[in-house]
């Protein structure tokens, strides 16, 4: 009998549903993927003290979960699993939010530690790619995860508790960022990297990218005739130079100009500079030659690890 798994993923910028079919031989494939931009981490980057989930953000997320439930309720032989990342991890009022979800949706959400999130990113990437050595970066809304992979082993990994939403708020990057704010953002990121000496071992390796901000760069290829609309971005490669070129163009634009440039992804226009700056600095500081975009991350990593234990 075919088994199905639904994974609800409460991210800091978007809430996602992944539906997966588990085959008798232990392999699995995604059968449906849905996403709602819920901006759960909204307002959490502006203050270092007393981070809280706003009522509006919680309501948006619950509305998304209700619509997802209507989708997965029709699926037979289903196990539902829910996970939450940085916004819920860091919020003082997360317990009451998780209780609301349990009461209204009927799912107990597991709050992943930063290290667990990074490890599942690694497991998801290794499931999808035959890469021996690489760096992995998952740029989320409220955190970003870094993993050093050597001979397919995660030798070091860490979650940094700042992401596209919170960095954009902290350094006023929603509209056209000032030189002073951009310099402060760069210094902040470099300081974070300086605390991770193991990143030096990733010098010159390919960088595998996860997260919506990164995929937005990959989608630029659609308008340049390199990919058809709707085509999966998984496995797409891009030189570091080309990636930085796209970033530099957006860096010089205001929010309205970025919205026009981003088209269907215009709701990322206010967080794209905050989200991409750490990636660009990784590429430049560690002389990484190319990026590889992955659509296999935390959710796929959770399933791969679960099946491995069975």
Pairwise CA distance, residues 106 & 113, whole Å? 22
Classify domain 3-111 by CATH number.
Answer: 3.30.420.40
Are 3-111 and 121-293 the same fold in CATH? yes
Do residues 87 and 53 make contact, with C-beta atoms less than 8 angstroms apart?
yes
Q: Is the pTM of this model over 0.75?
A: yes
**What is each CA distance from 2 to 27, 273, 301, 302, in whole angstroms?**
11, 43, 20, 19
At 310 the pLDDT is 76
Going residue by residue through the chain (310 aa), what tens digit of pLDDT does each one get? 789 999 999 999 999 999 999 998 889 999 999 999 999 999 988 766 668 999 999 999 999 999 999 999 999 999 999 999 999 999 999 999 999 999 999 999 999 999 999 999 999 999 999 999 999 999 999 999 999 999 999 999 999 999 999 999 999 999 999 999 999 999 999 999 999 999 999 999 999 999 988 989 988 765 454 545 556 789 999 999 999 999 999 999 999 999 999 988 899 999 999 999 999 999 999 999 999 999 999 999 999 999 988 7
What is the side-by-side strand order in the sheet with 28-37? 28-37, 14-22, 3-10, 78-84, 109-111
Task: Tell the residue number behind the tokens 């740029």, with chain if given.
Answer: 139
Give me the residue spans of the domains in the chain.
3-111, 121-293
Q: Alpha-carbon torsion 191, 196, 199, 200, what sign? A: positive
What is the CB neighbour count within 10 angstroms for residue 77? 11
Question: What's phi and psi for 182, nearest 5 deg?
Answer: -65, -40
pLDDT at residue 225 in the model: 41
The architecture of the domain spanning 121-293 is 2-Layer Sandwich (3.30)
Answer for the pair 12, 140: CB distance below 8 angstroms, yes or no: yes
Structure tokens at 260: 């026009």
């Amino acid at each position: 009998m075919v088994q199905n798994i639904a994974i609800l993923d409460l991210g800091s910028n978007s809430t996602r549903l992944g539906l997966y079919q588990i085959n008798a031989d232990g392999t699995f494939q995604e059968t449906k993927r849905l996403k709602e931009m819920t901006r759960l981490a909204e307002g959490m980057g502006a203050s270092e003290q007393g981070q809280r989930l706003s009522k509006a953000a919680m309501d948006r997320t619950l509305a998304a979960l209700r619509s997802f439930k209507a989708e997965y309720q029709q699926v037979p032989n289903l196990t539902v699993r829910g996970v939450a990342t940085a916004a819920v991890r860091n919020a003082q009022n997360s317990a009451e939010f998780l209780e609301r979800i349990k009461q209204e949706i009927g799912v107990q959400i597991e709050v992943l530690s930063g290290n667990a999130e990074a490890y599942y990113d690694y497991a998801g990437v290794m499931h999808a790619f035959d890469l021996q050595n690489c760096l992995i970066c998952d740029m989320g809304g409220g955190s970003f995860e870094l993993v050093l992979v050597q001979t397919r082993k995660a030798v070091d990994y860490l979650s940094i508790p700042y992401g596209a939403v919170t960095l954009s708020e902290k350094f006023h990057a929603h509209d056209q960022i000032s030189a002073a704010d951009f310099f402060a953002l760069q210094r902040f990121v470099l300081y974070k990297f300086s605390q991770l000496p193991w990143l030096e071992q990733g010098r010159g390796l390919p960088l595998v990218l996860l997260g919506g901000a990164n995929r937005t760069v990959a989608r630029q290829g659609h308008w340049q005739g390199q990919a058809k609309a709707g085509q999966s971005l998984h496995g797409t490669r891009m030189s570091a130079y080309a990636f930085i070129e796209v970033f530099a163009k957006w860096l010089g634009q205001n929010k309205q100009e970025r919205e026009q440039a981003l088209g269907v992804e215009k709701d990322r226009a206010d967080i794209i500079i905050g989200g991409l700056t750490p990636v660009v600095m990784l590429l430049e500081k560690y002389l990484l030659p190319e990026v590889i975009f992955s659509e296999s991350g935390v959710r796929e990593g959770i399933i791969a690890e679960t099946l491995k234990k069975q």
